[in-house]
Structure 1
Amino acid sequence: MTQVLAARAGKITSEMEWVAAQEGVDVKFVQRGVAEGRIVIPRNVKRKEFNYCGIGEGLRVKVNALIGTSSDRSDPAMEEKKLAAAEAAGCDAVMDLSTGGDIDAMRRLVLEKAHVAVGTVPLYQAAIEAIEKHGSIVAMTPEDMFEAIEKQAADGVDFMAIHCALNFDIIKRLQGSGRVTDIVSRGGAFLTGWMLYNNKENPLYEQFDRLLEILKKYDVTLSLGDAVRPGSTADSLDGLQLMGLITAGELVARARAAGVQVMVEGPGHVPLHHIETTILLQKRLCGGAPYFILGTLPTDVAPGYDHIVAAIGGALAAYAGADFLCYVTPAEHLGLPTEEDVKEGVMAARIAAQAADLARGNKRAWQRNVEMAQARVNGDVKTQIRLSLDPEKVKSALGNLAPDQPCVMCGKECAVKIAAQYFGINLRS
C-alpha cells in the first residue's frame, strides 16, 4: 500500500510519524496532507530505513543535490565523496543523474550509501543504453524506457523525474514559439528528438497508466519533469511553459486517482517579477501538488556565481510557495562540479530555504533565528556555532575566542556592549 492509499484509509505510517517528529507538527496534519496530495514522502518500499523527508504544504522547505557520472568523467569514488559532501552540508535528498560508466553500479552504490531520499531520471539510462544497443537515441524503443523505469524502481529509487507532460501538441507550439532557448531539459530534448524522428507520441505520456502501475508497485514518488521549462529569463511564462504546466496538472490528477505520490518540477530561469506568478500558477493548475524547482535563476549573466543567483531566486520562490529547491552549484554553465562546488550549492540552497521558512512563519525557523540573535548579544560562541547552517565554518572563525575577547568585528567598540552600558543590559563579557 502506498503512502497515499494508507493515508486515505486513515492509517498513519512510520514514515508519517518520522516526518511529523522532524517537522514538529501533528502527525494528523502530515497524514491529511499526504491523503490530499499536498505532501509527499519519497520512500521506495524496497529501501532500508533512512532520514525520510516530507515535501509540501506546511513543512520546511527541502533541498536536493545532484551527483552522477558522465561520459567525460566516470569516477564512482569521486561521486561517493560528493554524496558525502552533500549530506554533510545538510541536503534532504540527492539525485543520481549518471550517464557514463556502469550506471547500474553507480545507482546501487548511491542507494547503499545515502542516508536521504534518492532520485533518478530513468530516461537518461534508457537513452545511453539505446546508443549502445541500437546505435542512437532515436532508435530507443518504448520498452527500453519502461524497462529502465522498472529496473530503477526495483533497485529502490525513491523518486523519479519522468517527462510525461510532453506531447505532440506541445511540440507543435514549440516549433512556432520563437523561443530564445527552445529546450534545455536533457530528458525533454531526448524525447523531442525521438518523437520527431519516429513520428510517434511520447510513450511516457501515451502509456501513462502503465507508468503509474510501476510506480505504485514500489511506491515511487513521481516527479513530473518539466520538459519545456524556460532555459533563459527571456522565455519565462511564455505560452509553451503554460501549456506544459496545464498538461502536468492533468497528469497530477490521474496520478492521485491511481494512488501514486506526485510532485511537479518547475522552471530554472525566471526573472524576479515572474517568480510569484509562476508559483501561483503551478499551485492552481496542479491542485496544490508539491513544487520542485530547479534553481530558480533570476538572471542569466552570472556564470561562476549561479549558486548565489539560485539562492536569490529560490528564496523568493519558496516564500511564494515552492516546496523543494534543487541546488545549483558554482559550476553551473561552466563544467562538472567538484566536492567543494557541491557543498557551496547545498549551502546556498539551504540559506534560501531558511530565509523562506522564516518568512513563511515556520516556528522552528523563527525560534532558531531568535536564539542566534540572543547568542550574539550574549557573546555565546558555542550557541552561535550550534545554530549556524555551517557550524564548522563558524567554529573555524570563532571557536578559539576567549570569553573576555573583544568582538571580532568591532573590537573594544562593540556596538552591543556600548548600548548595554546605557540600557542596563546584563551581558557576559
Structure 2
Amino acid sequence: MNYTTQMDAAKKGIITPEMEIVAKKENITAEELRERVARGSVAIPANKMHKAISPEGVGEGLKTKINVNLGISKDCTDYSIEWEKVKMAVDMKAEAIMDLSCYGKTHEFRQKLIDECPAMIGTVPMYDAVGYLDKELADITADEFLEVIEAHAKEGVDFMTIHAGINRRTAQIFKESGGRLTNIVSRGGSLIFAWMEMTGNENPFYEYYDKVLDILAKYDVTISLGDACRPGSTHDSTDASQITELIELGILTKRAWEKNVQVMVEGPGHMTIDEIAANMKLEKRLCHNAPFYVLGPLVTDIAPGYDHITSAIGGAIAAANGADFLCYVTPAEHLRLPNADDVKEGIVAAKIAAHAADMAKGVPGARDIDNKMSDARRRVCWDEMFQYAIEPEKPQRYYNELPPEEKHTCSMCGKMCAARTMNKILAGEKVDVK
C-alpha cells in the first residue's frame, strides 16, 4: 500500500477499496468520489485497524449520515445496557456510533465496538482522559493527553473529536465578549477551558496540533474538529465566541489537509430556524467546504423530553442547506442518560431529518423509496408500506391495534378511504361505502 490515508491516496490518483465501496453505496463513480476526498469535501473515516467496518463517506453530494452517541457514565456503569443500544443502532442502519464513555477503564467496551461493529466509531479522547489516566484534570500533562489520542487510534477508532479551536486567543474572546446565557456547553470544550484556566497553559491539542495530526495520519483517523463554543441556547447562537472559534477551525482544517488527515468540522448546537441556513453556508466558506457535523441544531430551548423533535426540525433544515452529518438527539437530552427506547426515538428522528434533507438537495436515488411508498399507498398494500417505512415495527403495530373491517382500508376511513374509492371508480367498479 503506497499511501498513508484515504486523502493521501486520493491526491495521488489512487482509488482505494474503501472508495469503491462508498461510491457504490452513493450511486456515483469512484473517480468522482476520489476527487472529493482529494480536496477534502468528502471524508471516509476508516481506521486501518478497524477491520469490521463497512466504509461510509461523509460530505459533498453524498447521503446525509447520522451518528448515535452512547457510553458509560459514573451513574450508569452497565456495559451490557450500552451494548444493546449498539445492536439497535446497527440494526437501524446508523452510519456512526460515538463512544462517549467517561468513567472507569473504557478500553474493553471500545475494543468490542471496533472488533464487531460495521459502523464508523468515534470517540472524544478528552472524556476518557480522566478515567484512563486516573488523575485530576489539572494534573494531566500535555503529553498524557496525546497518549490517550494514540491509545484510541491504535485500537481502531475511525474519527475523534478534538477540541483544538478553543485556544488561549478564542478563550479570551469568550471571556471578553460576555453576554452568553449558557457559557460553554461542550463537555470537552469546558474541560479544556478549565484546564487552561487552572494551569495557565495553552490548549495542548492546539499547541501540539502537528503531533496530534501525525498520530492521526499514522492510523488514518479522521479529525472531527470540536466546537467548544457551540451555542447551548438560542440566545447564544452566531455570537462572537462561536464565529471566532469557527475561523480557527478553518485554519486548523487546512493544516490537517496538508498532512493528509481527513477532516470533519463540528457545529451548533441551539439555533433559531432563521439562522440555520446562513450558518451552514458560513461554515462551508470558512472551513473550505469540509464536511459539516452538527448536533441538531435544536430550534427551541423549551422542549425537554421532546428534543429529538426540536433537533429533527433543525437537522432537516441544516442538512438541506449543506450539513453532511447529523448527531442524533434523544428525548432524554438535557435530562439523563438515554435508555434503549430513547435511543430508538432519537435514531428515527435523525433518520427522518437526514432523508428529508437528501430529497431536498437532490441526492441521487434519495426519492426512490418515497415513490415506492406512495405507489404502495395508492394500491393500499400494507405489507409493502411497512417494508418501506424508516422503522417498520411502529406503523405495523399501530395498524394492528385497531384492524379495519375491510383489509384494503384502515380504521380511520374504512370504506370511505380515498385510495379505495379511486381504485374502484377508475377500474369501472361500483363504490360501496356502507
Q: Which residue of 2 aligns with 1:173?
A: 173
Mind listing any 5+ residue stretches in structure 2 that lack a counterpart? none
Q: Deviations over 1:187-246 (max 9, x none)?
A: 111111111111111111011111100000000000000011111110000011000000
Superposed, 1:227-246 pairs within 5 Å as 227-246=228-247
**Equivalent position of 1:262 in the other structure:** 263
CA change 1:425–1:374 in 2 (3 A) is farther
Counterpart of 1:361?
362
Contact conserved, 2:399 with 2:410, CA < 8 A, in 1? no
Candidates 5, 9, 23, aligned match of 2:8: 5
> Residue 366 of structure 2: SS of its match in structure 1?
helix
**Cα distance 1:415–1:109, how it changes in 2: closer, same or farther (>3 A)?**
same
Q: Is the 8 A contact 2:381 2:408 kept in 1?
A: no
* Number of matched pairs: 425
For residue 416 of structure 1, report the CA deviation from its aligned partner. Answer: 1.9
Say whether 1:162 aligns with 2:162. yes
**1:18-67 C-alpha deviation (Å, 9 max, x unpaired):** 11111111111111111110001110001113221110010000000011
Q: Which residue of 2 aligns with 1:210?
A: 211
Q: Aligned residue for 1:145? A: 145
Percent sequence identity over aligned pairs: 44
Aligned residues of 1:128 and 1:137 also touching (Cα < 8 A)? no
Distance, in Å, in 1 between the alignment partners of 2:338 and 2:179 is: 32
| Offset, 1:114 | 1.5
Task: Give the Cα separation in 2 of the matches to 1:326 and 1:348.
Answer: 11
Matched, 1:272 2:277: no
What amino acid does structure 2 have at the position aligned with 1:337? P
Contact 2:249 2:287 in 1 (8 A): yes
* Contact 2:224/2:263 (8 A) holds in 1: yes
Residue 1 of structure 2 is aligned to residue 24 of structure 1 = no
The alignment status of 1:48 with 2:51, answered yes or no, reads yes
In 1, the alpha carbon distance for the partners of 2:407 and 2:284 equals 52
Whether 1:128 aligns to 2:131 is yes
1:402, 1:114 → 2: CA distance?
A: 45
2:223 equivalent to 1:222: yes
224-233 or 97-106, which moves further after superposition? 97-106
Distance in 2, Cα, partners of 1:128 & 1:101: 5
User: How big is the alpha-carbon RMSD for the aligned residues of Structure 1 and Structure 2?
Assistant: 1.8
Q: Which amino acid aligns with 1:60?
A: K
Per the alignment, do residues 425 and 246 of structure 1 end up closer, same or farther by CA in structure 2, a change over 3 Å counting? farther
1:127-155 Cα distance to aligned partner (Å, 9 max, x none): 3345x33xx20111001100000000000
Distance in 1 separating the partners of 2:404 and 2:366: 27
Amino acid paired to 2:138: V
Q: Which moved more, 1:168-177 or 1:395-404?
A: 395-404
Please report how far the alpha carbon of residue 398 of structure 1 lies from its aligned counterpart in structure 2 after TM superposition: 4.5
| Alpha-carbon offset, residue 12 of structure 1 | 0.7
Q: Counterpart of 1:334 in 2: which secondary structure?
A: coil
**For 2:387 and 2:110, how far apart are their aligned partners in 1?**
33
What is the TM-score with the length of structure 2 in the denominator? 0.94
Does the 8 A contact of 1:127 with 1:190 survive in 2?
A: no
Cα deviation, 1:368-404, whole Å, max 9, x if unaligned, reads 1111101100112222122110122233344788985
Q: Which runs of 5+ in 1 are unaligned?
A: none
CA distance in 1: counterparts of 2:405 and 2:103, whole angstroms: 51
Counterpart contact for 2:409–2:420, Cα < 8 Å: no
Can you list the C-alpha shifts for 1:54-84, whole angstroms capped at 9, x where unaligned?
1001000000001100111111111101111
Query: Contact 1:62 / 1:353 at 8 angstroms: preserved in 2?
Result: yes
Q: Is the 8 A contact 1:118 1:159 kept in 2?
A: yes
1:94 maps to 97
How far apart, in 2, do the equivalents of 1:405 and 1:324 lie?
39
Q: TM-score, normalised by structure 1?
A: 0.95
Which residue of 73, 82, 91 corresponds with 1:70?
73
Does 110-119 or 309-318 show the bigger shift? Answer: 110-119
- Structure 1 residue 423: deviation in Å? 4.7
Are residue 197 (structure 1) and residue 171 (structure 2) matched? no
- In structure 1, C-alpha distance between the alignment counterparts of 2:161 and 2:295, rounded to whole Å: 12
Does the 8 Å contact 1:73/1:100 carry over to 2? no
C-alpha distance in 2 between matches for 1:398 and 1:113? 35
Separation (CA, whole Å) in 1 of partners of 2:285 and 2:427: 52
Corresponding letter in the other structure for 1:256: W
Work out whether 1:374 is the aligned partner of 2:375.
yes
Deviations 1:62-114, CA, capped at 9 Å, x for gaps: 00001100111111111101111122222110000001132111211221231
Q: Is the deviation greater in 60-69 or in 172-181?
A: 172-181
